[in-house]
Chains A and B, each alone.
Chain A
């Protein structure tokens, strides 16, 4: 699976200073132009000749895309060019926000490595569309939406359903994601991210889980997202409903975890068999909710 090339194919590099200018370039060049953010994904894809482009539109020169803002009651807004390390630095300075979005914090701490996190962005990580990346899990957990802007208009798209496959998304060629909103979680909720790795930086099973009001069935919120084991992020809605309804979580946790694991269409590859992944999903779900119950 090693890269057959060291060099990149030819392209023209452009670094617009304003969003307007970038959108114009994308509109004029259609599919021949590709947005470059941190480039960690894109440069790799181009080197392996999986993505072709005549124009590389680097959005890192657009100042307004570099912002992080927590709006109480609304959520955490992260600009498109914010890197993994910049988010971690923000969380270090804002521990209350970090605890609200704990699963995102834990996932960002596991995104690639400390050096690549100086380039790789939170938004780019999602749009890369690979099954085993870390940010889509917490993004779906916190009902995140991306703000997609083009010369023809703007729209907010939920991250759940945004990605179709590697480098393939619901975005159209003229659109740039300017920011992502991780929505405010329920008051008093706890969340966590579990990444199980096997010899590479990437996980073979990643889970994002959230729990609030564990003791009161009527008011309880339960959320669970499976990534890395499945091709696309999987929000386990039926599992969530069954746990919400239960008198006590512990009464149904094991049985529901097993039911979910068996119902999923999971990846089989040299790192882990499908059967092993299903086993891990089950035991890690139990671990995640046992941890959240006592947090």
Chain B
């Protein structure tokens, strides 16, 4: 069944027609053109489709689009402010925390959330939190270094 839903996406109200059986991942990419959200495994494993949904990170391939009606979604494209990158994005650049970059939007949006909640994490806590997002290039070291380094900016905020 098709229906019209309204959601706040990266701070802007958007109205869009969706089918009941479309996932949030399909709605974001195919209907709203939000290409920073990546699609890969379609089974909740890789975490590349991660977005913030009503304030918490979720894997959007495991959420229905209709559930977002009246809700709020933030993607990696929505965490920078007035054209300035979020601290975690800067740290990813400084540490070279990507190679192909396919996993980067998921990692930055998830860690942006994580560091706001826990600005004093241990390396173990970062690893544990990120265990649901896969990177096939870096071996994770640079990613974890970037998150640990970015934490200082979140402590100041």
Contact = CB atoms under 8 A, between A and B. Distances in A.
Contacts of B132: 112-116, 201
Contact of B62 (A15, A119, A201): A119
A115 B21 contact: no
Contacts of A12: 1, 20
B131 A113 contact: yes
B62 A43 contact: yes
Given A8-B21, A13-B64, A115 B128 contact: no
Interface stretch (B38-46, B76-84, B89-97, B137-145): B38-46
B1 A47 contact: no
Given A112-B132, A114-B128, A115-B50, A11 B42 contact: no
Grouping DSSP codes into helix (H, G, I), strand (E, B) and loop, the A interface class, with mixed when no group exceeds half, is loop
Interface string A16-49: 0000000000000000000000011001100100
B21 A118 contact: no
How many interface residues does chain B have, given as a range? Answer: 20 to 34
A191 to B, nearest CB: 22
27 contacts: A2-B41, A2-B43, A3-B43, A6-B39, A7-B21, A7-B22, A11-B20, A12-B20, A15-B66, A39-B62, A43-B23, A43-B63, A44-B44, A47-B43, A112-B44, A113-B131, A113-B132, A114-B132, A115-B133, A116-B59, A116-B62, A118-B56, A118-B57, A118-B58, A119-B58, A119-B62, A201-B132
Interface of A: 2-3, 5-13, 15, 39-40, 43-44, 47, 56, 58, 60, 85, 112-116, 118-119, 201
Interface of B: 1, 19-23, 26, 39, 41-44, 47, 50, 56-59, 61-64, 66-67, 110, 128-133
